[in-house]
């Protein structure tokens, strides 16, 4: 039987995690280690400065899970290094409520858990439904999770590579296709709102949820805009190859530490 770790950044009691559990339980033993509370936009952070706890809790389907005070990445580490040491065949992070597209990838707690699995050389994917609706229907994403998990239990991703999956929030019969995509350039429009608190002090809200989409063909953003499931292969090597030579041309390496 396959051993499948699931985690997320919406917290152990989220509906998306439950839908994922039920979909993957048909493929093997599902182990749940997830944050004890929502950890959205936690980035790929690891907890080095405080002790981590793992508490046994019960999911709404009656199954046992482990709730931690750590980040999604920590959950993967705790499972890979202790709870299910050397036994994990697959790590799946999700099903997230809300998109993880374009530049979101470097912020995303959901994706960070799959990244951490890639560091440990375990096949992994992150999966999100691209809507923040409170009553989100996870059934399409759950079915695709099972389909993709079966493929990843048969095939090996290269070292340091993971998959980032986004599923449009459409009725199953409206799904327009499945596309392998590149990461697009979607990002928030960088709004900041300045307000005054009841004591007269200034404070700020970042964000707003208006995305700026650059709908280039073949990108995750475009696929979702067309009601398709988007699958982006992601790797951990951030080197901008095209700049290696130009930097040398800028005399960056001519620095002399003794000159003023």
Q: How many residues does the chain have?
A: 260
Q: Contact region for a second copy (CB under 8 A) — 14-22, 29-37, 57-65, 196-204?
A: 196-204
Question: Is residue 169 part of the contact set for a second copy (CB under 8 A)?
Answer: no
Report CA torsion sign: 123, 129, 132, 137: negative
Q: Over the range 172-205, which residues count as b (16 or more CB within 10 Å of their CB) and which as e?
A: eeeeeebbebbbbbbbbeeeeeeeeeeeeeeeee
Q: Is the distance from CB of 71 to CB of 46 less than 8 angstroms?
A: yes
Q: Contact region for a second copy (CB under 8 A) — 56-64, 89-97, 128-136, 191-199?
A: 191-199
Q: Contact region for a second copy (CB under 8 A) — 14-22, 29-37, 75-83, 127-135?
A: 75-83
Question: Is residue 25 part of the contact set for a second copy (CB under 8 A)?
Answer: no
Question: Is residue 199 part of the contact set for a second copy (CB under 8 A)?
Answer: no
Contact with a second copy (CB under 8 A): which of 7, 42, 100, 130?
A: 42
Binding to a second copy (CB under 8 A) within 106-135 occurs at 106-107, 112, 115, 119-120
Q: Which of 4, 44 has the CB closer to a second copy?
A: 44
For residue 79, the minimal CB distance to a second copy (Å) is 10
Q: Contact region for a second copy (CB under 8 A) — 11-19, 56-64, 88-96, 145-153?
A: 145-153
Question: Is residue 97 part of the contact set for a second copy (CB under 8 A)?
Answer: no
Alpha-carbon span 193 to 6, nearest angstrom: 36
Structure tokens at 12: 């152990």
Question: Is residue 216 part of the contact set for a second copy (CB under 8 A)?
Answer: no
Q: Is the distance from CB of 225 to CB of 213 less than 8 angstroms?
A: yes
CA torsion 125-107-13-46 (nearest 10°) is 90
Contact with a second copy (CB under 8 A): which of 132, 160, 210, 216?
A: 160
Q: Which of 17, 115 has the CB closer to a second copy?
A: 115
Q: Which of 135, 249 has the CB closer to a second copy?
A: 249
Outline where 100-156 has alpha helix (H). Answer: 109-119, 139-154
What's the number of CA atoms in the CB half-sphere (13 Å) around residue 179? 20
Q: Which of 58, 235 has the CB closer to a second copy?
A: 235
Q: Contact region for a second copy (CB under 8 A) — 11-19, 56-64, 130-138, 144-152?
A: 144-152
Q: Which of 62, 256 has the CB closer to a second copy?
A: 256
Alpha-carbon span 139 to 29, nearest angstrom: 20
Q: Peptide bond before 240: cis, by omega within 30 degrees of 0?
A: no
For residue 112, the minimal CB distance to a second copy (Å) is 7
Question: Is residue 105 part of the contact set for a second copy (CB under 8 A)?
Answer: yes
Alpha-carbon span 175 to 172, nearest angstrom: 6
């Amino acid at each position: 039987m396959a051993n499948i770790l699931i985690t997320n950044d919406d917290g152990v009691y989220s509906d998306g995690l439950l839908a994922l559990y039920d979909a993957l339980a048909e493929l093997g033993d599902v182990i749940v280690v997830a944050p004890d509370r929502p950890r959205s936009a936690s980035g790929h952070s690891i907890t080095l400065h405080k002790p981590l706890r793992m508490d046994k809790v019960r999911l709404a389907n009656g199954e046992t899970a482990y709730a931690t005070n750590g980040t999604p990445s920590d959950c993967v580490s705790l499972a890979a290094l202790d709870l299910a040491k050397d036994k994990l065949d697959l790590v799946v992070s999700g099903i997230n409520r809300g998109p993880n597209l374009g530049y979101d990838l470097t912020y995303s707690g959901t994706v960070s858990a799959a990244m951490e699995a890639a560091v440990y050389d375990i096949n992994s994917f992150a999966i999100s439904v691209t809507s923040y609706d409170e009553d989100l229907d996870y059934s399409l994403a759950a079915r695709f999770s099972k389909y993709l998990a079966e493929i990843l239990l048969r095939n090996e991703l290269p070292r340091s590579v993971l998959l980032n999956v986004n599923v449009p929030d459409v009725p199953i019969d409206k799904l327009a296709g499945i596309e392998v995509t590149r990461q697009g350039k979607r990002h928030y429009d960088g709004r900041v709102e300045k307000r005054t608190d009841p004591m007269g002090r200034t404070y700020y809200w970042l964000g707003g949820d208006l995305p700026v989409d650059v709908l280039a063909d073949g990108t995750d953003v475009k696929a979702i805009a067309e009601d398709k499931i988007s699958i982006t292969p992601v790797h951990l090597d951030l080197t901008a190859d095209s700049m290696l030579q130009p930097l040398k041309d800028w005399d960056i390496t001519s620095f002399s530490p003794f000159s003023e």
